[in-house]
Structure 1
Amino acid sequence: MLQNIVIGQYVPVTSPLHRLDSRSKLISLLALAVIVFLANEFWSYLALLATVVLFVALSRVPLRFFVKGLFPVFILIVFTFLLHAFFTNEGYVLFSILGFSIYSGGIEQGVFIAIRIGSLVILASLLTLTTKPIDLTDGFEFFLRPFKRFGLPAHEMALMMSISIRLIPTLLLEADRIMKAQAARGADFTKGTMKTRLETMTAFIIPLFVRSFKRAEDMATAMDARGYRGGEGRTKLRVLQWRLQDTIACIVVGGVGVVLAILRDF
C-alpha cells in the first residue's frame, strides 16, 4: 500500500494544467477544497464529479496514478460509507441486515461522502502531479513573502514545505523496502500479541528514522557544498509569470463554486 501514495510525485507530460502558474494552481486547490463542501445533493455532486473528471482529463496524467492515489484511502471511504449506511435513518427502508435497517438516505449520504473524499484526494494529487517541485517552492514563497515583515523566513519555509512534499513518496518507498527486508528475515508485522507487534515494529521504525536522518544530512551537506545560504540575495533562473490562462483557470474554479452554491438551493 505504501508504494501507492502519489502525492509528492511529478509526471512530466505536456498538458494545459502543467502549463499553468504554480500560484494559480495553489489558489485553485484552496478554493476547490472549500467548494467540495458546497455539494449537498445529487445535481451538485454530479457537477462536482464532472469538474474533477474535466481536470483529470486536462492534466493528461495516466489514470493509474489517480487509482493508486485513491487506494490508500479506500478503507476510509468504505468505512465512512458503511457508517452512513447503517446509522442514517432517512428515506425509506431498502432491506434489513444483522438487525440494522438500511435506509435509502443512508446509502445516498454514504455515496456522496465517498465522492467528496475521493474528489479531495484527486484534487490534492493533481497539484503535485502537474507541478515541478521548484515551481511549487516558488509558489509557496510568493504567498509567504508578505509575512517576512513579521520575521517569517519565507524562502526557507517554502523550501522546507516543498522538500517535505517531494520526499513523501521517497520515504514511503524506503519504508516499503525496510518492511520487505525485515519480513525476509522472519519479522511478521501482522501476527502475535500487541507487545510482540510493537517489538517487531521497532525493527522497522528505527532503520526508517536512521535512513531519514541520513538522507536529510546528505541533502544538507549537498546544499551547503553548492553555496546555499538561505533566501537573502538569491536570484531566480526561472521567474513565475502569471498569464491569461491562469486568470481563466481561477475564473473557471470560481464559476464551479457559483454553480454548486446555486444548486444547493434547488
Structure 2
Amino acid sequence: MTLHFSVLASGSTGNAIYVESGNQRFLVDAGLSGKQMDALFAQIGREMKNLSGILVTHEHSDHIKGLGIVARKYKLPIYANEKTWKAMDGLIGEIPVEQKFTFDMETVKTFGNLDIESFGVSHDAAEPMFYVFHQDGKKLVLITDTGYVSDRMKGIISDADAYVFESNHDVQMLRMGRYPWNIKRRILGDYGHVSNEDAALAMSEVIGDKTKRIYLAHLSLDNNMKDLARMSVAQTLESRGVVIGEQVDLYDTDAKIPTDLTAV
C-alpha cells in the first residue's frame, strides 16, 4: 500500500491538501468554496464523498472557508483540537455532533495502516497545528502557517520522504509592497509566516537521506512569485550543501491548480 498526496490548492486565497493510503483518504483543510473543492477533486480523479475525514490545522478562513459546507454535504468527520473547535464556532455553521472529533496537539491517531501525528506551529491562531503522515516507513510532512521553525518542530519533521513546506514571502517584496505596516509586521513576526530564506534554512536542517521532494507552499499572492521562491530556496539550500536536482527536487504549488497525485 502506498502513501499518495496532492496539494489541491495553496496560497493566501485558500488551502487544501489531499492524502491517501489505500482506503484511508483525508483532506487537510478546506479553504475554498464547496464548488471549488469538488472541481479540484475531479482534477485528481477523486471524490469528496469517499473521504475518511477532514483534518483542520487552524481556524483562519483560507483554511476553513468550505469546511462546514463539504462536511455537511458528504457527512464527513472533522478532526480539530479543542481550541480550534471553539475558535471555529460561528464560522462553519452547525456541525452534527457525530461528525465532530477532537485531535489533540502532539498526539498520534491511527487509521488503518496510516499514522497521523499532529504538532504545534507558531501562528496567530487559537492553537494551530500541522500533520505528519507515517505509513510503512514513509513520512510526509505538511508545515505552513508558522512564523518560525523551532528546534522542537525540526525534531518532529526531520528526514521525511516529502515535504509540503511554507515559503510565504520574499522579505524585500514584502517590505516594499503595498501592505500597511501592521500587516507587514504581523507576517514578519514570530506568529506570522516564514520567508523563502528562513524556510530554506529550516529545510537544510531537517532534510535527510530519505528526502526526495519539497513542495513550496502558501506563497503570498502579493509578496512572492514561484520562480523567486524556487530560486531563493535553491540558492540557500545549495549554499548549505544540498544539491538540488540530484539530492532533492523542488516543486511549485498553486492557488487554483492541484499538483499531480504523487506517491511519497
Same fold (TM over 0.5): no
Query: Which structure has more RCO (C-alpha within 8 Å, separation ≥ 6)?
Result: 1
TM-score with structure 1 setting the length: 0.24
Higher helix share: 1
Larger radius of gyration: 1
